[in-house]
Structure 1
Amino acid sequence: MAGRVDILNGPNLNLLGKREPHLYGSETLADVEKSCQALAGELGLAIRFLQSNAEHQLVDWIQRAREEADAIIINPAAYSHTSVAILDALKAFDGPVIEVHISNIHQRESFRHHSYVSLRADGVIAGCGTQGYHLALMRVARLLTSAG
């Protein structure tokens, strides 16, 4: 395997496919996980795919990733705009971090235009729908290969 990647999903993403499908699409988070597992296998990556509505759980997973993962892909959802705690946890992680947003946060309400997570992210993918997860996996694979 080229690397271990934690894919972390924040609040309300458990409702993907049901909540505002005009904005987020009709795929469920389980669909996204399945397609990410398939692509990760092709890229030689092992992934752990997680979702929580709780900020502290995301922080705990980021801290665990320091010992167990080579990279993090994170869709912090609404915590992007509010969570210094998630930013601080990501700053303590040494590997690549890619931030993913299904919608284009820059075309939405002005409070969504700022992301604390972006201050640590090595790349930000927004507005590509759930394909953003695949783009993030491909980028992580490239970063881990060039680092190794």
Structure 2
Amino acid sequence: MEKQKTIHLQLIAKKRSDAALSAIQDARDGLTRDFHAGRLTPQDLAALTLGSFCVRAGLGPNFLNGEKYKEHVKPEIKEFIKKLKATAANERAAPPRGPTYTERLELSNARLRDQVHAARLLLHEKRSVIRTISRKAEAKVVRLLPQEPT
């Protein structure tokens, strides 16, 4: 009976451990997504520590200091945070990039469409003027054929 209870407790502990590791992985993925989407400010990244990372994962701030996670998981998370901060610093230091080829092409296309539209409006206006001038009632010359003698 004691052996079954021990096995049961081990299974519960394994489930809790797996859930905690899953939460850590989800927090890691979430931070990566938020970083690439631009939802993390420089202040957010500066405040990111192991404790705040664990809290973000829904765990205690000292969770990674436990014996089970101290040697393997903690160094991985430390390295992840370090790389995330370094990447953010590099992106801030990089000069702003100009528009991409696609963006330049879309801008050029929009300008061309505007020019074509303006040309069509001008053409329509000129044709309207021509129609108006052509419809005016003017004196018309009617040729009369000479009459034949009767």
**Given the two structures, how large is their TM-score scaled by the length of structure 2?**
0.21
Structure with greater proportional helix content: 2
Structure with bigger strand share is 1
Higher radius of gyration, 1 or 2:
2
Q: TM-score, normalised by structure 1?
A: 0.21
